[in-house]
A and B are shown apart, each in its own frame.
Chain A
Amino acid sequence: MSTRTFLSDVLAVMTNEFRLLRRNRTAIIISLVILPIFFTGSLGGASGGTGQRFTPTAHLAIAYVDNDLTIASRRLLDTLSSSGDFNNLVQGYSEESAIETLGTKKIYAAIIVPKGFEDNLAKNQQVSLVVYEDDSINGLGSQVVSSLQTSLRNFSPRAETGPLLAKGSSQVEIIQKGTKFSSFNIGLTIILALVIVFATFYEVAGGMSRESEEGTYARLLMSPISLGAVILGKTTYDLALNIIRTFMVFGLAFYAYGARPSTDFGTILAVSLLIALLTMGFGFVISAIGIGVRAVIIIEFFLVLFLFAFSGFIIDRELLRGISSTISYLLPWAYGIEILKRTILIGQPLLTQTSPLGFIVASIAVFYGTAYVLLKLSRERLVT
């Protein structure tokens, strides 16, 4: 077969895919609009944009119960109020009434300053602030404690003394280096990978399974078009969709939420397409097994759950142990997500990440090779 015929077959398959997509408005809306907007929007809604300083405790009503009523306890209140982390401190509660009110959503936590707070500080003895939390609010306690500890670094019990930090709580300052970025940027890498894997797998595996169920796939295999042209045509079509999706996610993140990645868009697009190719290869393998659309959806759900647990979305791979660690190191998407993080977050050039890059390319080759062999076998079965 000449190259020209092959390319024209690829073009024909690709055009057919676009025609099918155009006829299905719901699929276009879900795949190219709802999916990127829902995912990126939920991230922005949860963590705020990159430009704004967002502290989850800032707006929450938190009782400040001062059992000491001294200059030091008053200064602590001022320190907390001006920190930006506690903008809604409520006074006037006794310890008992604050504890009673917790759980009613009038207040979410209560900071109790004990009697003898100032005296003990003056004697350089340890004092304890007690935080009561409404623990039906997930994650509240750790947020309040973390914000409180940060504010305490700037707290000085009296005007003439410096902050406690300088006085002795830690005379060793830790100068932190390393690229800083917002939690939105961290979430963005996850969302981008998730949107790509989620949509691509369904488009490839789901699309081919649907064609199998409708009987059009058998007709396609029996046509003079080569198997390579079918695979390449579908791949090219899906790569085009992924370019649009990457633009959608990044456009929204960039313009609506002020995301500023540490690398250029070309690199992000290249990594996105690598992850898409990997997912497409896997999708071809799954569809070559000859399963139905419902089974494809179940596999997709499992795949996304696996990515959440084992690919560094939530927990770094280094922290996983035993079988979880093994799965993580065998999961090719984990390498894609690692590259995405290292490029978007810390700006490491793509080509310097040779090991994960090599693993992904090898995985793509293995997936496509396996899919080709399986599809060829199913074609031969159809012929005979």
Chain B
Amino acid sequence: MNRFARDTTTVTVKELKQLLRDPLSLALTIMFPILLIQLFVVIVTAFSAPSYNIAVVVSDLDGSSTSKSLVDKLTSSRLIKVTQFFQTEEQALHAVESGAATGAVIIPKGFGDALLGNRPAFVILQTDNSKITSSTLVQSAVSSSTQSLLELVSARLGAAPVEVILRPISGRPPTGDTFLPGMLGMITILGAFDDIVNAITRERERGTFPRLVLTPTSILSIYSGKISATVVLNAARTTLMLVIFMLTGLVVRGNVLLVYLTTTLIAVFTMSLGLLLSTKIHSSSTLTILEITITFPLFQLAGAVQAPELLASGGRAIAAMLPWTYGNDALRRVIYLGVGFDAIALDFVVLLLSSLVLLPVATLLSKRTM
């Protein structure tokens, strides 16, 4: 046992030394979190901009004071920018079809009379639905402008009679930081996969792996040493992410040690899978490509961006079979809800059991390929 521990430590130190000597890999280990967070910042900034100025054209066929009020409301919207007025409906619709504007609002003749006579009135809204986010924002702007007009026309009609108020149980304000725990999970997975590429396949390519195996060190010590190195690197990556969380204002409500434990278990499982794959795939570039190929669907399926509970039935079934899903779930619950160990024990068991199944298989297959 002593020897096993000693060999494991030797391999761990060797792995870390090797990484320190490879500036590209070292930079990559640090760049992953920063780059992914940067991507998140771009997305959140775009969604929380004070104004968008999405191009919308208007055709006011009514010309009444009421329709002019609606045009005023549209013009003052922070979401859209009325870029042109057209005399006919066809011209307005053509502006959208040709891509000159994202939306066209047509106020039909008789609009003002209908509204003042307390009869149903309507406006036509044509949107370029290939611009998915913009068209939704245009719909929202037109909807709030008409609501605002109704308040102006008749105090009796007022605002929506049934208002819906959302209250998160954590008490957090509904901010754009919902991706961050998932990002931590994905960075852990990507980092661990990259470690396995460095640890095994590149050694195979250099020819140093057979030499390492031929030393008196057991294959299990080699693997556990490589896993231990990943655990150390993972702790560094998690610390970096937690610092970024702090800078972005995200409060970790649970025990920080549980966050470390969760990312460690995710990393160990990923490493075990990587070890298994590396027994069959000997090229580092092929393994990296496979890693990226697997990673992008994982963003969708393992709960990094959207919770698996909100997926369609097929997606939920796949998500339930992926141990990473349980890791991401544990991260979200610890970070957002501040739950303790007992609430996420099942997630840990799934991750641990999966690793315990994969690791011996990887060791066995690795011995066979020697």
Contact = CB atoms under 8 A, between A and B. Distances in A.
A293 B97 CA distance: 44
A132 interface: yes
B369 interface: no
Contacts of B130: 179, 338, 341-342, 345-346, 348
B311 A45 contact: yes
A174 B139 contact: yes
A171 B133 contact: no
Q: Which 8 A-B pairs have the closest CB atoms?
A: A45-B315, A42-B297, A48-B312, A135-B168, A56-B310, A137-B307, A172-B146, A341-B130
A238 to B, nearest CB: 15
Nearest to B281: A26
Contact of B35 (A134, A141, A302, A324): A302
B211 interface: no
A301 B292 CA distance: 8
A170 B147 contact: yes
Given A126-B161, A172-B121, A316-B133, A297 B115 contact: no
B134 A318 contact: yes
B164 A149 contact: yes
Given A46-B306, A319-B134, A210 B49 contact: no
A126 B135 CA distance: 29
Nearest to A356: B99
Contacts of B128: 178, 346
Nearest to A194: B296
A35 to B, nearest CB: 5
Nearest to A24: B286
Interface string B148-181: 0110000011111111111111101010001100
A138 B102 CA distance: 29
A164 B161 contact: yes
Contacts of B161: 121, 124-127, 164, 167-169
Contact of B120 (A42, A173, A177, A345): A173
A136 B337 contact: yes
B184 to A, nearest CB: 13
B309 A46 contact: no
Contact of B43 (A60, A129, A314): A314
Contacts of B97: 348
B157 A166 contact: no
Interface of B: 24, 28, 35-36, 39, 42-43, 45-47, 49, 52, 54-55, 93, 96-97, 99, 102, 115, 118, 120-135, 137, 139, 142-143, 146-147, 149-150, 156-170, 172, 174, 178-179, 182, 281, 283-286, 288-290, 292-294, 296-297, 300-301, 303, 305-307, 309-315, 317-319, 329, 332-333, 336-337, 339, 343
Nearest to B52: A319
Interface of A: 26-27, 30, 34-35, 38-39, 41-48, 52, 54, 56-57, 59-60, 99, 102-104, 108, 121, 124-145, 148-149, 152, 155, 164, 166-181, 186, 194, 198, 202, 206, 210, 293-298, 300-302, 304-305, 308-310, 312, 314-316, 318-321, 324, 338, 341-342, 345-346, 348, 353
A127 B166 contact: no
A353 to B, nearest CB: 8
A133 B307 contact: no
Nearest to A141: B166
Contacts of B46: 315, 319-321, 324
B163 A126 contact: yes
Nearest to B172: A135
B43 A318 contact: no
A221 B290 CA distance: 30
B303 to A, nearest CB: 7
For chain B, what secondary structure do more than half of its interface residues adopt (helix, strand, loop), or is it mixed? helix
Contact of B293 (A30, A177, A312, A353): A30
Contacts of B167: 130-133
Contacts of A103: 169, 333, 337, 339, 343
Given A46-B312, A121-B161, A318-B102, A139 B306 contact: yes
Q: Which of A198, A298, A301 has the most CB of B within 10 A?
A: A301
A53 B284 CA distance: 43
Contact of A45 (B35, B157, B296, B318): B318
Nearest to B24: A294
Given A126-B159, A294-B285, 4 more contacts: A48-B315, A138-B178, A319-B47, A348-B97
B12 to A, nearest CB: 23
B178 A305 contact: no
A43 B39 contact: no
A366 B278 CA distance: 39
Given A168-B156, A174-B146, A210-B285, A135 B336 contact: yes
A148 B45 contact: no
B336 A178 contact: no
Contacts of A44: 312, 314-315
A171 B49 contact: no
A108 B309 contact: yes
Contact of B146 (A42, A170, A293): A170
Contact of B131 (A43, A129, A318): A318
A297 B139 CA distance: 41
9 contacts: A42-B301, A47-B312, A103-B169, A135-B178, A135-B336, A168-B150, A173-B123, A178-B127, A210-B285
Contact of B169 (A60, A99, A145, A297): A99
Given A175-B124, A319-B134, A346-B130, A30 B160 contact: no
Q: Most chain-B Cβ atoms within 10 A of its Cβ — which of A294, A324, A341? A: A294
Contacts of B55: 318
Nearest to B292: A301
Contacts of B54: 318-319
A155 B161 CA distance: 11
